[in-house]
Amino acid sequence: MAVLPKDKLRTGIYDSVLEELEKEVIKDRRYTSYFSGHKARYRSDLQVIDSYYTGGEILEIGSLPCHLTYCLKQLGYPVIGLDLYPERGASFIENHGLEVLKCDIENERIPLDDGRFGLILFNEVFEHLRIDPIFALLEVRRVMKRGGTLILTTPNLYSLENLVSFSLGKGLAINAYKEFVKLHTVGHMGHIREYSRREIKEFLANTGFQVIDVKYRVHNKSRKGIFVDFLYYLTPFCRPYLVVISRKKI
């Protein structure tokens, strides 16, 4: 029997967990389209987490709809989620024995002890913060162990879509009204703004983190065709998402 390389073996495990998650998501139609759009991101996130995890508890900020929280628990990671309104996913959280705490990270102290977590996830959250992202990062740093790792993912301001939209005089690709109206329809802000690599690094450097790696990624093949995929290949800095890995400065 052939032995699979570690990365192939792990990818197979991730796919199995995601298939089980999909069965659970189908039971609650609220998040089926969200899952479909983010499934490839979850797989990529799991690969990044696996690369940097060295033991201990994981804190996931912005847990809802708890898909990644579920995957991490199924894979044996000790994970605690944090969310603005965890009650929105109460049945999913209860059914799968997840631990998700309520916290407004821009206004409230994270209700956990100093220096507790070796790995903290801040995935697809930073672009939603509209009050005080500096406070949020300082709180993340407080609950992180010395030398702990922060994985932050966020849309890339200089994505190909934004660059094309701006050059055509349409502004950035995000629609400001549609993002603000989410405060009324889903209970939290949409994308208040998107950031460049340099801007994210500046936020982190000034809140006690040292950036050790930045990756540009695309989750799915472009709906606009193979030409756009080829442009992403040639110009990775125009890919739609940033993955920023940093460590707590000692």
Distance, in Å, from the CA atom of 136 to the CA atom of 110, rounded to the nearest integer, reads 9
Q: Which residues lie closer than 8 Å to 4 by C-beta, 6 or more apart?
A: 12
Distance, in Å, from the CA atom of 189 to the CA atom of 166, rounded to the nearest integer, reads 23
Share of the chain above pLDDT 90, in %: 71
In this prediction, residue 5 carries a pLDDT of: 43
In this prediction, residue 3 carries a pLDDT of: 35
In this prediction, residue 167 carries a pLDDT of: 83
**Cα–Cα nearest to 190, from 180, 203, 200, 204:** 180
Give pLDDT < 50 ranges for the chain: 1-5
Say which CATH architecture domain 6-248 belongs to. Answer: 3-Layer(aba) Sandwich (3.40)
Distance, in Å, from the CA atom of 45 to the CA atom of 62, rounded to the nearest integer, reads 14
Cross-strand pairs, 79: 58
The domain limits of the chain are 6-248
Q: Is the peptide bond before 155 cis (omega within 30 degrees of 0)?
A: no
Identify the H or E element spanning 207. none
